[in-house]
Structure 1
Amino acid sequence: MVSRIIEITNKSGLHVRPAARLSKAAEHCSSKVEIVYEGTVINAKSLLNIVSKAIAKGTEVELRCTGTNEEEDLEYMAEAFQNLE
């Protein structure tokens, strides 16, 4: 497992549109991709799970990847978070 702290920089947080972009990006990963928010582990491949947490701008979350391509998938997902604007 590899992880990184990510700050949500999208001006409206993780509402439906950016959450959909993240879950779609996570689906391309062969690793298990999770977002840890306030002690809750969220499956990043599930749009509904991401949206239900209503994560606001400025919040720090932990992004975790576990699997055979975890390093590459972590980089890919970190970039996806940066491109939510």
Structure 2
Amino acid sequence: MYSKEVIVRNKTGIHARPATMFVKMASSFTSDISIEKDGKQANCKSLINILSMGITKDCKIKISADGFDEEKAVSELVKMVEAKFGEA
């Protein structure tokens, strides 16, 4: 199991477009990947689960993965969040 915390800095948090990007990237890895906010946990490969988390700007989230490519999965997803999902 590998995990890392990151703060969501883009204006709108993880709404529909960023969530879709997040799920697409998470689904490209074989590891089981989850996201945690305020003690609530969700599967990163499910759009509905991600959207139901209500992740807004300045929320601290923890991304965890368990499996063959766990470190790469967490690192790439954290990079995406830190890059504000490509927000200009």
Q: TM-score, normalised by structure 2?
A: 0.90
Question: 2: distance between equivalents of 1:53 and 1:73?
Answer: 20
User: What percent of counterpart residues are identical?
Assistant: 32
Mapped partners of 2:67, 2:8: distance in 1: 24
CA deviation string 1:8-35 (max 9, x = no partner): 1111011111111100110001111110
How many residue pairs were aligned? 85
Q: CA RMSD in A?
A: 1.0
Residues in 2 aligned to 1:9 and 1:32: alpha-carbon distance in whole angstroms: 25
Residue identity matched to 1:37: K
Runs of 5+ consecutive residues of structure 2 not aligned to the other structure: none
CA deviations 1:31-63 (Å, max 9, x no partner) are 111101111111010011111122110000111
Residue 69 (structure 1) aligns with? 69
CA distance in 1, matches of 2:80, 2:65: 14
Q: Given the two structures, how large is their TM-score scaled by the length of structure 1?
A: 0.93
CA distance in 2, matches of 1:18, 1:46: 13
- Residues 6-85 of structure 1 mapped to structure 2, 5 A cutoff: 6-83=6-83, 84=85, 85=87
